[in-house]
Amino acid sequence: MEVLILDRGTNKTSNLSKGGLFTALGVIFVYLSSIVPVNKLYLLGIASSIIPLSVVTTNIKNTLIVYFATSVICLFVSGSKITVISYIIFFGLYGIIKYYIERIRKIYIEFILKLAFFNVVVLIIFYAYKAFFPGIISVNMPLYILIAGSEIVFLIYDYALSLFISYTNRYLHKKI
């Protein structure tokens, strides 16, 4: 009986320590994306991969704590609030949304829901930028090309994230 209790305590302790590590890594990558002049989206993409890693190695409750802790800490330490808001609204949140959407196990519904989430987030960010930073966004191409292009990039990002999750499940899950 005591072994089971000790095992549960170790699991909670393990999840807590992994959560702290994932939060620290998330903060580092979001912070780097706010100060490095190039590859901002790449660094945010790396930061976003920490959320699915947390889902795979701990649990969804711990992952939600990692997401919220990373978001709050980044709001205080990061100089670029635009980068942090991008993490909060899309990059950090998408790993959690992806987890719930992919539990449906119907590829067409998953595809539609993921694109719907992406388009809603893009609209929110677009109108927020327009409202708070007028004149910053100037589009020199037709809007439908911009939307189609961004959706293609999103699908590539989703596929890359799926490959990372698959790799984590196959090779890293037992080692972490």
| Extended beta strands in 3-133, E state | none
Sign of CA dihedral 109, 110, 112, 117: positive
What tens-digit pLDDT sequence spans the chain (176 residues)?
A: 333 333 444 588 999 999 999 999 999 999 999 999 888 899 999 999 999 999 999 999 999 999 999 999 999 998 888 899 999 999 999 999 999 999 999 999 999 999 999 999 998 888 887 787 777 767 788 878 988 999 999 999 999 999 999 999 888 766 66
Give the domain range for residue 14. Answer: 2-172
Number of compact structural domains in the chain: 1
Contact 172, 50 (CB under 8 A): no
CB 71 within 8 A of CB 92: yes
- Entry pTM: 0.87
CB 57 within 8 A of CB 25: no
DSSP 64-87: HHHHHHHHHHHHHH-S-HHHHHHI
